[in-house]
Amino acid sequence: MKLEIIRNVFLKDRYLLLELSAPRSFSRAVPGQFLHIRIEDSSDPLLRRPLSIHDLESRKRGKSSGEKTIVKILYEIAGKGTALLAEKRPLSQVDVLGPLGRGFDIKKARAANVIYLLAGGMGVAPLYFLAKRLSREKKKIEVLIGGRNKDHIMREREFRDLGCEVHVATEDGSLGLKGRVTALLLERLKAARPQGRRAICACGPKPMLAAVAEISRQKSIPAQVSLEEFMGCGVGACLGCVIRTTFGYKRICHDGPVFDAEEVIWTE
């Protein structure tokens, strides 16, 4: 499906926000789902690139009565594909499959009273969409964002605007706690009085998610994690994007990208 680009702007350094005009059906998308994007009609790059839905918005369509749906993507220039995407201008189009995959289980998350959203680096991308959905629920949401340094921390203000409590950890200490976002999580868990049920939703690099899973196990706090892997088809057909789970290899694109942390075998 070809979607028109409405906006594609640098937020900082190598990070951009892309806005696409999408059909109404996209409003059914679930946080954690992704789009599988063909950036150029070219063999270089050949394959699509998976990018999470960062936000969904409905806007009035000028004078006409209808509404249009806007999908937002927060992305980092990581290589050839995303560099080409960054060059795209409004009115041009990208070829999109999706929304794809199994997103966060909102029901499970909102069964808790306090929800911790943990973002490592670009992990903020899907978590903002999730925070928005959860913020309707009048739960306490703590957003913990980790990154190498303060230039890698994004969307703080936007999360606060949703009513979330935001904490930051940077490896070099240039903003917030000096250290990992999982250390921050431990600190926040300790600081909090036991207030009944808690839940964790996390997205970031695999080692971080493994650490989250360990904390989840030790503290008996259910955690959902969103995983990444190179993707071929994006629709569950090629078995190219798997993660080892207690049920064998599962497809990140179709059975995930969100999994229960306890289901994943982290040692591989």
Partner 1 sequence: MKSKLAVNIGSLKLKNPVIAASGTFGYGREYSDYLDPGELGAVITKTITRHRRDGNRPPRICETTGGMLNSIGLQNEGLEDFIGKKLPECRRLGTRLIVSVGGETNAEYAGIVETLDREPEISAFELNISCPNIEYKDKIISQDEELTYRLVKDVRSKTAKPLIVKLSPNVSDITKTARACQDAGADSVSLVNTFLGMAIDIERRKPVLGNITGGLSGPAIKPLALRMVWQVSNKISLPIIGGGGIMSARDAIEFLVAGATAVSVGTAHFVNPRACLEIKEGIASYLSRHHFKDVKELIGSLNVR
Ligand X SMILES: Cc1cc2nc3c(=O)[nH]c(=O)nc-3n(C[C@H](O)[C@H](O)[C@H](O)COP(=O)(O)OP(=O)(O)OC[C@H]3O[C@@H](n4cnc5c(N)ncnc54)[C@H](O)[C@@H]3O)c2cc1C
Contacts to ligand FMN by CB under 6 A: 232, 238, 240
Distances (CA, A) of 228 to 30, 214, 257, 259: 17, 19, 7, 11
Q: Does 10 bind partner 1 (CB under 8 A)?
A: no
Stretch that binds partner 1, among 37-45, 84-92, 131-139, 161-169 (CB under 8 A): 37-45
146 binds, among ligand FMN, ligand FES, ligand X, none (CB under 5 to 8 A by kind): none
Inter-residue contact 52 to 33 (CB < 8 Å): yes
Beta carbons of 240 and 252 less than 8 angstroms apart: no
Least distance to ligand FES, CB of residue 228, Å: 11
As given in the structure block, the two tokens for residue 156 are 């703080």
Residue 234 interacting entry, from partner 1, a second copy, ligand X, none, C-beta within 5 to 8 Å by type: partner 1
Least spacing, CB of residue 141 vs ligand FES, in Å: 30
For residue 267, give Cα distances in angstroms to 4, 51, 197, 215, 262. 42, 26, 28, 15, 12
Cβ proximity to partner 1: between 10 and 230 the closer is 230
Instruction: Say which entry of a second copy, ligand FMN, ligand X, none residue 42 contacts (CB below 5 to 8 A, set by partner kind).
Output: a second copy
Q: Does residue 73 contact residue 54 with C-beta atoms inside 8 Å?
A: yes
Give every CB contact of residue 266 below 8 A, 6+ residues apart in sequence: 206, 209, 210, 213, 214
Q: Is 205 in the site for partner 1 (CB under 8 A)?
A: no
Task: Count other Cβ atoms within 10 Å, centred on residue 23.
Answer: 11
Closer residue to ligand FMN, CB minimum distance, 192 or 238? 238
Q: Does residue 75 belong to the site contacting ligand X (CB under 6 A)?
A: yes
Q: Which of 15, 44, 188, 247 binds a second copy (CB under 8 A)?
A: 44
- In angstroms and rounded to an integer, the radius of gyration of the C-alpha atoms of the chain is 18
- By residue count, the chain amounts to 268
Q: Which does 138 bind (CB under 5 to 8 A by kind): ligand X, a second copy, partner 1, none?
A: none
Contact track, ligand X, 122-161, x by CB under 6 A? x--x------------------------------------
Burial of 124 per CB tally in 10 Å (0-12, 13-18, 19+)? buried
The residues of the shown chain that bind ligand X, judged by CB under 6 A, are: 34, 45, 49-52, 74-76, 78-82, 122, 125, 228-231, 257
